[in-house]
Structure 1
Amino acid sequence: MSWLVHHTRSEEYAAQAEQLFRRQQFSRAAELYRLAAEAETNALNTLDKSKIRTIGITAVSAVSLYSKAQEFALAKRIAHKWLASELLPSFAVDELEDLLQVIRYEQSRAKSGIQFIEGEVLVSVSGGEVLYGAAPLELILRKVEQVKSLFYRTTEFLLEKPHRTRGLPGQDVKDQCDPWLFQAPAGSYQFEVRVRRQKNFEQLILGDIVDTELRVEQITKKFLEIVRATTQDPEGELIEVVPQEDYRETFLKLTRELAPPVSGKSFDQMEIKSTSDFDSQPVVLRPDTRKAIKNVLKKPEIVSPELTQHKIRQLKGTLRGLQLDKDWIEVNIDGKTERIYEAKEIDDVIGPMVDRRVVVEVLERSDRPPDKKYSLHDIQLEEDLI
């Protein structure tokens, strides 16, 4: 049979496998992926060695399908065979090397016995100072922490916890949401987040409410749903997804901090997507995302009497200290420390800003003593606004 016949058969098996995977019939899906991989390997063996591009595409497809079928030994054997052949175009060499990296991770995970819930979140940053497979350490550490905060907040929301304004998430939340960071194949700069499965993942009982059940598998799906609604329709879909106003404001602020700076200097685009949902489109955050979210956060204040009675000022300096339990922060401005009161800000947002240059919008209140005249209106990192 010809390459076309084998390849068409492979595509048919793969399409059926994807449908079964969506329905979470994983064992049957794996069987069909294996049949698709066998058909693709047969197609590969029929090709003339002059068909370099087709060889590359087919070899990558065969290895990928064997990997999806959990047939890792066969996947590695085919990858190494064709990498050693010197017949592959450069794009196929890169893709096969990336696949081998994924296979090594899957094998080590299986050996460890550690299990993760279905669904992974792939986060990639690009543009600005970000290179292919490399990025400033401080930038990536900050983005990882922000993604982790969003995962914890999503879990608290699913658990119907009271909105947390101070401190870290409780141990019961951490027991249900244990995010792990994985190295992703090099793109611009990418990392993958998965949530480790707990022993009691089948059912979660909250206090005496026996009928309140949370399948941990919802965490990743809900995380993506919230971020998507926050960036694409914060005044419509987000209200439906997150009805509670305090939670909604927190998700808006955390996503704003996740977005690229207005200047796009350090990076100018972030993509967040599911690696297991075939139909899911990536959530894209750009500098204008930050502006749009800021506008949504400001809208309720249009009718606020405080804005008509007091002057709004903008202060630039270094955030040196905070005491959120007492509702104040301290900002060093040209060597002088200003204490700003009514700092009703959540730890997740303001904590990472300590010892960094910030831009603080304050209400300057004429009805208070000079040393207590400033009330916090908004705060962002200076680098995100330049």
Structure 2
Amino acid sequence: MKFTLKKRERNTSARRGTLVTPHGVIETPIFMPVGTHAAMKAMTPTQVRETGAQIILSNTYHLHLRPGEDLVAKAGGLHAFMAWDGPILTDSGGFQVFSLPNKRITDDGAYFRHEITGEEIFLDPARAMAIQEALGADIIMAFDECIPYPCDRKYAAISTRKTLRWAELCKKAHTRKDQALFGIVQGSVFEDLRALCAKELVQMDFPGYAIGGVSVGEGLELLKRVVEYTAPFLPDDKPRYLMGVGLPEDILESVERGIDMFDCVIPTRYARSATLFTNRGRIRLTNRKYRRDFYPVDPNCSCYTCRNFTRAYLHHLFNANEVLSAILSSIHNVHFYLNMMAEIRRAIEEERFSEYKRTFLDSYLKGK
């Protein structure tokens, strides 16, 4: 993997880069749609590609439970298994494991129950690496402890040290040279712990770095502060990934603070509940006012859905509980996000990101 920083805007920390992987080039800043179970919900790989997606994310924890990494490896790896020929990132499963109600965390790893069979499973750094190597994604993540919010400083300090130990073990266990292993910065909302974690991870020399433990209930203002005092400790010549952040306003604030990569289930999850993103804010298509609305979801959008269908038609599909409602809405929402990222990249190149952010939010937030 090779990352090239092509431009940094003069008045902000917004960055424009290119990330080369074995399965293609990624232009940053980029949003990564999430295909948790090696599938984008309600979308085919061709439809995902047509939205402008350059890289997608799949989940180590869920794929380990079913169908199992051995079966995926036997199928030729995740790319062949899910018929996606572009770059893939797999997370380590840390967030999913630590969000489970009955997990047991030790210094060595985490014990949890299989959600289907009930059997006890142990996941540690070496196992997380073995699973991700078998899956075969282009970018893989170190196994970390996702610190909940709120938490006391003593627990956060112990947990951050644990994440650093586990990062070292992940690096030692990782053997595939065609995969880039990213370290994950933890530390909750404590500035000194974030700085400590970032500095020590940089000393380990990972090819990329993520900021984890955000979007866990801390709110936008604390999110901005965490990114603001963490990003400066990360090297300019390595990609920076903010994990699990997905509202447009969160992305814009984080791009301004120097983040390159984002992922979230929000576009497809909201789509399935009839909530669609537009330049004038979110709309809920099950609302009765859309029953006779023959405009596209967003008149300024060029996605397949907006080129061919009306709000009235999607309103009907949701009321009739048709599967097509989720398909068309997901296509639109993912396209909205990827188009926003393309506009962000152009704005950074043209030294007008601050103006773009202000104009976008003026329109978007007024309609929320």
TM-score clears 0.5: no
Bigger relative contact order, structure 1 or 2 (CA pairs below 8 A, ≥6 apart): 2
Q: TM-score range by the shorter chain?
A: under 0.3
| Structure 1 or 2: more helix by fraction | 1
What TM-score do the two structures reach when normalised by structure 1?
A: 0.22
